[in-house]
Amino acid sequence: MEFQREGRHFLERFAPYLLGVLAVLFVAVAWPRAWYNDDAFITFRYARHLAQGFGFVWNTVDPVRVEGSSSLAWTYLNAAAIALGLKPVWFSHALGLLSGVAGLVLVHVAARRLLGLSPWFALLAPAVLAAHRQWVIWSVSSLETRTATVLAFGALLAMAFEQRRHPPGWAQSGALFFAATLFRPEVPLLHAAAGAGFALARPRRENVVAVILSGLVHAVGLAGLTVFRLLYFGQPLPNTFYAKVGGIQLGRGLRWLVQFPLQNGGWLLGPLLLAGLFAWWLRRRQAEHPADRPEANPFLVAIGVQALAWCAWVVVEGGGGWEFRFLDFLLPGLAIAIAAAAASVGAGYGLGGAERRGHRVFTALLSIGAIAVSWWTLAVPFRKFDDVDAAEHMKRQADALLAEGRQLARVLTPEDRICIGWAGALPYVTDAWHFDPWGLNDPEIARRPFRKEGVIFHQRQATWDDVVDRKVMFCDVYNQFLYPRPYPPNRVPNPVMPWARDGILVHCIDLGRGPWPYWIFASPRPVSEIRAWAERHGLHLVYSLPLRLRPTGAAAHVLSPAPPAR
């Protein structure tokens, strides 16, 4: 017993230092894995235009205000960074990494102060999180994901502390949830679920009042944000919401959700969570007096309700096209639940004597196993399924598009009109006028009919008539612009995109240098205009030939393969 007390005192004394070690390990593991995908450059293009004084517009020529980025706050933060002379990619990596470290601190605080776990089990939560593949890669993805998750989890902590304070006072949690909403528009669902969880766990009047006050603060912020959007953009929600949301895709969503435990150590963590719940139920059942029965912790109940609501939303929407990004909001809660389950198992099942000591050894091994499984997720590659991409593949896609964009930036200007489904890296590098055929940056296309058979979140699309109406000069109809050889239209080794039409003219321009010198595109503009443009830039028009589609029409589009890596 004396040894146990000394060990406990040691952990209590050195817990901040051990937490610091975990933070250093996290940074050491995450920073070398820093990456970006094509979508990050959508935000960076908006941010650059803001920093240059054009406003929140996609094109600087014939500008139209449209909220085509998924994160309003992330765009403005990057605009400020660009205005200060910082590179948005590195700024985003650094801010995401800091947010990841902050998340480790928050889960430790929650485990100690809200669950009352011992120092060992409180450290288990950040230890599980620190090297979990999903926590690592989305912390250094150049996207808003990690910052939004940490803000939302911080808001949940604030809400839990408000439940303990009587009277509740000013609801800081509502302000934090609103701040998280500025980074991801789905956060109100998490707030509503958390409120329902706290109200279910403690349905007393003062607790319900605290939940309502938190919701009111958030609602006031949402009202102001909606007024701003209506006045500035002319619509109450981000344009990406209209472009991506609208279909019920339960089969696809369930397959996506089931893959998470299959690829993230569910074989151990799932039984551990169930064993912890069973141990809590058994202690409650064996208590001789009602006062001795352990109550459900409101914080854990709120985490559980959040998980149920969020998983239901993800399943309805069809999951996602990227590896488990849309479960990122649940990772801090999952780490807390694992630590709580291990502590519950460690409390025993009424055992005593030597059995009790053996049980403690088993619990320690189980905790170490949970950490090992989390770290193991970094060593095992993501297993691709359906049309879901791994981070490494998305990085290669973005690198290829950046290389393609740098080559085209030598000849394209903001006045040149292009259309390409990859709306990020290439439009960012070239800064050419860009028409997005998936509607992320076009309010009209974003409201087109929803196509379940399309690639997830790219299920509304333009037609060739839209390309004509936008006076596009260079339209990508093969999911790639540059090639090593001047393939004829019906020999291009890529699928035809769904906005192509039988008989449209496909052109090939020889850029004259680089490993991918042949630019193949379709255009509604006259051949004479294409030839004149090429001659002005000292380029050679290789051919102008019609595209002949099969009687069944163009092949269904895919977002992969991307342009080959340079």
Query: DSSP letters of 294-358?
Result: PPPPHHHHHHHHHHHHHHHHHHHHT--SBTTGGGGGGHHHHHHHHHHHHHHHHT-SS--HHHHHH
| Distance set, CA 397 to CA 392, 393, 402, 455, 511 (Å) | 9, 6, 9, 16, 22
Structure tokens at 258: 């089931």
| pLDDT over 80 (residue 288) | no
pLDDT at 3: 33
pLDDT at 359: 65
pLDDT tens figures, 394-453: 999 999 999 999 999 999 999 999 999 998 999 999 999 999 999 989 999 988 887 766
Q: What span, in angstroms and rounded, lies between the C-alpha atoms of 253 and 257?
A: 6
Structure tokens at 56: 């929140």
pLDDT at 556: 38
| pLDDT over 70 (residue 275) | yes
Residue 468's pLDDT band (boundaries 50, 70, 90)?
A: very high
pLDDT tens figures, 327-386: 999 999 999 999 999 998 887 544 344 445 666 777 888 888 888 998 898 888 899 888
| pLDDT over 50 (residue 32) | yes
pLDDT tens figures, 320-341: 888 999 999 999 999 999 999 9
180 burial type by CB count under 10 A (0-12 exposed, 13-18 middle, 19+ buried): buried
- DSSP per residue, 82-141: HHTT--HHHHHHHHHHHHHHHHHHHHHHIIIIIS---HHHHHHHHHHHHT-HHHHHTTSS
Q: Where are the domains of the chain?
A: 2-379, 391-546
- Three-class DSSP labels, 483-529: ECCCCCHHHCCCCCCCCCCCCCEEEEEECCCCCCCEEEEECCCCHHH
